[in-house]
Amino acid sequence: MLPVGSLLDYDFAAGTLTLRTAGAQLSLRFLAPDLLRITLLPEGRQMRPSVAVLPRQWDDVQVRLDEGEEALRLATPAMTVEVGRDPVRLRFYGRDGRLLAGEASLSWGEGAVAWEQVAPPEVRYYGFGQKPGFLDRRGRAMTHWATDESLHTPDHDALYQAIPFHIGMEGGRAHGLFVDSTARVRYDVAKERADRLRILADDDYLDAYLFAGPAIKDVLARYTELTGRMELPPLWALGYHQCRYTYFPEARVREVAAELRRREIPCDAVWLDIDYMDGYRVFTWDRERFPDPKQMVADLREQGFRTVTIVDPGVKVDARYPVFREGVAGNHFICHADGELCIDNVWPGRSAFPDFTRAATRRWWGDLHREFVNDLGIAGIWNDMNEPAVFNERKTLPPTAVQGEDGARVGHDRVHNAYGLLMAQATHEGLRRLQPDRRPFLLTRSGYAGIQRYAAVWMGDNHSWWEHLLTTVPILLGMGLSGVPFVGTDIGGFQGDCDGELFARWVQLGAFLPFCRNHAAMGTVDQEPWAFGPEVEEIARRYIQLRYRLLPFLYNEFYKSSQTGLPVMRPLLLEYPDDPETANLSDQFLLGEDLLVCPVYQPGATARMVYLPAGEWVDFWTGARHRGPARIVAEAPLERMPLYVRAGAILPMGPVRQWTDQPAPAELTLQVYAGADGALDLYEDEGEGYAYRDGGYAITPVRLSGTRLRIGAPEGGYRPTRDRLVVRFFAPGRVVAAERDGRPVTFRTAADGAAEVVLTEGTTDACELSFRVEG
Ligand code: MIG
């Protein structure tokens, strides 16, 4: 590797500082006052178009260049980059004038580029996409190389998702770095040398983005401005999903669906894994197992279920199979350098792989979904095996396979990590074209930075192990800190046999994950919610029902996330960045800002320790109050997962439904946790379609001050109906009287301590409720 040497000359034009050094050019450009793009391009090398960064015109940034003798300084009001002249070294300073981590140096070699930066001992490192382990990755070496790897253990960190983005935090002060390379990227996070962060990309050039923060939320907001945010999903996608490898034949699918309804376990979707296909040929059906998919899908829909089908990238080599023939004719498959098709084994046997780096191929692939979505009524698509996974020793395509648009071909190894993202993009855009009035729902296994724009993500093949229950939360929190909010894991675990206690604990946690799907591998014990007997079934039913009651809250959080880029499921450090106790806390998490979820991770446990950060916290189950910061021991018998609500929170809830659009009386419940002032702006819309983009949504402002609650009329072009409006007021004492707009109203005190007021008239009119509290 050759370090970037001394500065030969430079120019500063149109906002870009271009620095020439022996053999390479370095350019620095501010896209925003707190966002600097840093590109190192060795001579004679070509850059590829980014698949992560959204094409967009950034506003002009006011930058000042200081041409010092030792160093150049390029400054905005939010950040300064200092470029040493000999050798060229970079130092970044925040708004407060202090260094962001330490000095950085760049180097390059044959097919590799490196970023090395001083890593002061106080800096903690978060993000990195899907990585096993806990939140702070300091002291770890990691590789980004999308891999079909079911051992999510500390020694296997190259998993399905490859997101080379991280956040450095020093106290409450954060900065971020995104290395936009779809090739293999290796991180050494102060492991080999305790004071060095080293990032090595097996790529031809380095294209990096530095985020100056200073708050962690600023970093995430900017990062998701750069790489995009999750679109608001259809409401049904937030329901409970029932999956298994594999439900077939049709009679079995119908039986599972009927059981869910009979047992009143709410569910919005049943999923079909690979065995629905004819010999694993994508976009076909095994007509013996599924003689009339259209009828089956319609009948399931009658009962409120959506049907989701898996679609893998591998296309069976079969001269009589139209998808293969079209793919060859349209030049859509990846070839070797000599032009021969790159064929390898996956589920269908010998298969060809679409080159999703090409726009025409993405379009072709997207259109292949026409029959499934337009004729058969398939509601969602599940992309698996898109690392791409291949049944060979390398587990993927050879580096010598070539990909790219004509005239810009590169080896597969340069674009490997983009395969899942580009497949998801092809599918997402296809679904948008085919059903312009529906919000696409897509689940993907693999992804790269920006995957949040196209798909929900699950963590692939976990195991029915307590250890994997424990690892679920930190992995998903890391995804959220990497810009991806719509995440989940296989509830109950995929491989291995689950048991009742583990399932109960997993479903309790799963009910609070952004994506909530039960899934299990072939050859493992049954894992439907009733598979472990009546006690566990009752626990599963109660928690899944609770998820459905919380859907107005969850949907509101998804809406906020689509606007801000902040995750739905949050580590405490996002809300309490100055509290050192939160710095590596990952066995409990927040939904939004208000709901603290404390899963149980051990067999036999009937209690667990909970950390409550500053403020007052109300036990969701009992109404008991605790003042943080504090550690408490929470009771957690098998039927209970500890949950706490921040005082000042207003949780919008709904009735239990068996599926999200089941016709039922419209009821909104506001659970109000007095003890601190608070605000809720409740977002509602039709839960489907795009009318919301033309004003078809409602926002209801609710304000809590002291023991007074002001509920505004919904604003916006969508009119929510509320047959009943229930206010459940959790007071720091005993409620002795309640008034609505100055007149007494009746209330009852519920078992959890709430004073409950039920309104059936004027439920969408502005009103003020006040409570008199004693003691
Ligand atoms: O090689 O489609 O992660 O969820 O059930 C295994 C069969 C292929 C892996 C996925 C899993 C799915 C399974 N697939």
Counting atoms of ligand 1 from 1, which one is nearest the CA of 274? Answer: 2
- In which band, very low, low, confident or very high, does the pLDDT at 755 lie, cut at 50, 70 and 90? very high
Ligand 1 geometric centre to CA of 386 (Å): 11
Reported as a single tens digit per residue, the pLDDT across 292-327 is 999 999 999 999 999 999 999 999 999 999 999 999
* Substitution candidate for ligand 1 out of 152, 161, 243, 273 with most atoms within 8 A of CB: 273
CA distance 518 to 495: 12
271, 274, 276, 461: residue to mutate for ligand 1 pocket, most atoms within 8 A of CB: 461
The verdict on the CB of residue 384 being under 6 Å from ligand 1 is yes
Handedness of CA 101, 102, 108, 114 (dihedral sign): negative
Closest-CA residue to 601 (of 510, 463, 469, 462): 469
Q: What are 223-258's pLDDT values in tens digits?
A: 999 999 999 999 999 999 999 999 999 999 999 999
Question: Comparing C-alpha atoms, which of 484, 610, 476 is closest to residue 135?
Answer: 476
Peptide linkage before 629 cis (omega within 30 of 0): yes
Residues in a beta bridge with 596: 590, 644
Residue 741 in tokens: 């707009």
For residue 709, pLDDT beyond 90:
yes
Give the Cα separation of 242 and 224 in Å (integer).
31
Query: Taking each helix axis from N to C terminus, what angle separates 534-549 and 500-510, rounded to the nearest 10 degrees?
Result: 0
How many whole angstroms separate alpha carbon 534 and alpha carbon 530?
Answer: 7
Is the CB–ligand 1 distance for residue 245 below 6 Å?
yes
Q: Is residue 754 within 8 Å of 748, Cβ to Cβ?
A: no
Q: Is the CB of 443 under 6 A from ligand 1?
A: no
- pLDDT of 150 reads 87
152-190 per-position pLDDT tens digit? 888 899 999 999 999 999 989 999 999 999 999 999 999
Confirm or reject: Cβ of 149 under 6 Å from ligand 1: no
For residues 342 and 397, is the Cβ–Cβ distance under 8 A?
Answer: yes
pLDDT of residue 732: 94
Q: Give the number of the atom of ligand 1 that is nearest the alpha carbon of residue 150.
A: 3
**567 in ligand 1 pocket by Cβ < 6 Å?**
no
Asked whether 274 lines ligand 1 (CB < 6 A), one says yes
Q: What is the pLDDT of residues 630-687, one digit of tens each?
A: 999 999 999 999 999 999 999 999 999 999 999 989 999 999 999 999 999 999 999 9
Q: What is the pLDDT of residue 766?
A: 98
Predicted confidence at residue 494, as pLDDT, reads 98
CB distance 445 to ligand 1 below 6 Å: yes
CB of 460 within 6 A of ligand 1: the answer is: yes
Q: State what percent of residues in the chain have pLDDT above 70.
A: 100
Q: Which SS3 state, helix, strand or coil, does residue 727 take?
A: strand
Q: Measured between alpha carbons, how far is residue 449 from residues 180, 326, 388 in Å? A: 8, 30, 16
Instruction: Indicate which residues carry an active-site annotation.
Output: 384, 387, 461
Mutate to test the pocket of ligand 1, among 384, 444, 495 (most ligand atoms within 8 A of CB): 384
Q: Whose CA is nearest to atom 5 of ligand 1?
A: 245
Cα→Cα distances 470→26, 27, 453, 575, 587, Å: 43, 43, 28, 22, 7
Alpha-carbon gap, residue 81 to 245, rounded angstroms: 52
* Ligand 1: nearest atom to the Cα of 245: 5
C-alpha distances in Å from residue 84, one per residue of 22, 262, 662: 15, 71, 64
Ligand 1 within 6 A of CB of 313? no
Q: Locate the ligand 1 atom nearest the alpha carbon of residue 246 and give its number.
A: 5
Q: Is 461 in the pocket of ligand 1 (CB under 6 A)?
A: yes
347 Cα to the center of ligand 1, angstroms: 10
**What does the pLDDT read at residue 256?**
98
Residue type, 283: F
Residues 6+ apart with CB under 8 A from 500: 532, 533, 535, 536
Cα of 426 from ligand 1 centre, angstroms: 20
CA 384 to ligand 1 centroid distance, Å: 7
Angle in degrees, CA 105, 106, 111, rounded to 5: 160
What separation in Å is there between the alpha carbon of 272 and the centre of ligand 1? 11
The two tokens of residue 724 are 């009943």
Predicted pLDDT of residue 203? 98
**Neighbour-count burial of 68, counting CB atoms closer than 10 A to its CB (0-12 exposed, 13-18 middle, 19+ buried):** exposed
Collapsed DSSP state (helix, strand, coil) of residue 518:
strand
Distance from the alpha carbon of residue 381 to the mean position of ligand 1, in angstroms: 14
* Dist. CA 444 → ligand 1 center (Å): 11
pLDDT class of 775 with cuts at 50, 70, 90: confident
pLDDT attached to residue 219: 98
Measured distance CA(100)–CA(86) in Å, rounded: 21
Residue 459 beta carbon below 6 angstroms from any ligand 1 atom: no
Ligand 1 center–CA 699 separation, angstroms: 40
Is the CB of residue 219 below 6 angstroms from any atom belonging to ligand 1?
no
Query: What tokens does 46 get?
Result: 């070509």
Q: 117: CA distance to ligand 1 center in Å?
A: 39
Compute the distance between CA of residue 80 and CA of residue 175 in angstroms, rounded to an integer.
13
Whole-model pTM: value is 0.98
pLDDT at 151 exceeding the cut of 90: no
What b/e string do you get for 599-614 counting C-beta neighbours within 10 Å, with b at 16 or more? bbbeeeeeebebbbbe
Dump pLDDT digits (tens) for 503-545.
999 999 999 999 999 999 999 999 999 999 999 999 999 999 9
Q: Mean pLDDT over residues 691-697, rounded?
A: 98
Pocket test for ligand 1, best of 385, 443, 445, 522 (most atoms within 8 A of CB): 385
Among 245, 346, 491, name the best residue to mutate to test ligand 1's pocket (greatest count of ligand atoms within 8 A of Cβ): 245
Report the chain's mean pLDDT, rounded to a whole number: 97
Residue nearest to atom 2 of ligand 1 (CA): 274
User: Rounded to the nearest whole angstrom, what is the distance from the C-alpha of residue 299 to the centroid of ligand 1?
Assistant: 26
